[in-house]
A and B are shown apart, each in its own frame.
Chain A
Amino acid sequence: MAENRPCRRDLLNRINTASFAVDDVKLFLDTHPCDTEALEYFHEFQQMRKSALKEYSRYYGPLTIDTVDVDECDRWNWINEPWPWQEGGC
């Protein structure tokens, strides 16, 4: 598994990029709920965000509570990886 691990920085960059797009279009959709172009954009980046968060959790630990996978591990790994303000954090 270790050899085929996706690059952590690339994966995190994908999460940050997709999440920023989701955050921004979400605000637009709050006041333009029927804009089909914006809805499509939201859907595309929401899918990208979901899959990247899932993949990140698998190799580098969970960033969200919904991507914590207790089947793979017999201990609580939410607190193991550094926090965002610490060295090596996200």
Chain B
Amino acid sequence: MWNYEKRLQYPVKITQTNPKIAQVIISQFGGPDGELAASMRYLSQRYTMPYKEVTGILTDIGTEELAHMEMVCTIVHQLTRDLTPEELKASGFDKYYVDHTLALWPQAAGGAPWTATYFQSKGDPITDLHEDLAADGTTA
């Protein structure tokens, strides 16, 4: 089970909205190498991991990825607060807004919805760890 802490892992205080940047950053929430995929990857793979050290680290990193996801979502939320119709149209954020308004919804920057096909969970430790390296080796 999990407990919630009412704080971000690192504080996010954005004062200037910028929907153009928000459309790129949202990929780190719901894109193929985003935090949601990372968390689900580790938390799914841990059940068949035969070494307690690795089961432990998959659990603890999978948990930490949820905290990263919360920071990324906060960034997107604060970048898109109180947008005017003009700002929506000029930034191209209108295409997202028509379906989700200013709510957070996991998608890649190009608009593709988050999907479980972004990660693998195969039950073989070497296979799964290689998948982790490919997915999380360049982004955190």
The segment from B2-10, B30-38, B93-101, B130-138 that touches chain A is B2-10
Which residues of the partner chain B approach A64 to less than 8 Å between Cβ atoms? Answer: 3, 5-6
Q: Is B24 an interface residue (CB 8 A)?
A: no
B53 near A65 with CB under 8 A, answer no
Q: Provided the pairs A64-B3, A81-B6 are in contact, do residues A16 and B77 lie with their beta carbons within 8 angstroms?
A: no
Report yes or no: A20 in contact with B9, Cβ–Cβ below 8 A: yes
Q: Which residues of B contact A12 (CB under 8 A)?
A: 7, 11
Set of chain A residues within 8 Å of B3, measured between Cβ atoms: 64-66
CA distance A8 to B65 in the complex (A): 27
Residues of B within 8 A of A78 (CB): 6
Contact A63 B5 (CB under 8 A): yes
Could you say which of B8, B53, B64 contacts A84, with CB atoms under 8 Å apart? Answer: B8
In the complex, what distance in Å separates the CA atom of A14 from the CA atom of B66?
Answer: 22
Closest residue to A78 on the B side, CB-wise? B6
Check B10–A84 contact: CB distance below 8 A: no
Interface size class of B (residues with CB under 8 A): 20 to 34
B53: nearest residue on chain A (CB-CB)? A31
B3 to chain A, nearest CB (A): 6
Q: Knowing A27-B57, A30-B53, A85-B74 are in contact, say whether A63-B9 is a contact too (CB < 8 A).
A: no
* Pair B7/A63 contact, Cβ less than 8 Å: yes
Task: Indicate whether A59 reaches chain B with its CB closer than 8 angstroms.
Answer: no
Chain A, residue nearest B67 (CB):
A23
| Closest-CB distance, A86 to chain B (whole angstroms) | 9
Chain B contact residues, CB within 8 Å of chain A: 3-12, 53-54, 56-57, 60-61, 64, 70, 73-74, 77-78
Other A-B contacts than A12-B11, A20-B10, A27-B57, 20 sampled, CB-CB below 8 A, are: A15-B7, A16-B7, A16-B10, A23-B9, A23-B64, A27-B60, A31-B54, A31-B57, A65-B4, A66-B3, A81-B6, A83-B6, A84-B7, A85-B70, A85-B73, A85-B78, A89-B6, A89-B8, A90-B6, A90-B7
Q: Which residue numbers of A lie inside 8 Å of B, CB to CB? A: 12, 15-16, 19-20, 23, 26-27, 30-31, 33, 62-66, 78, 81, 83-85, 89-90
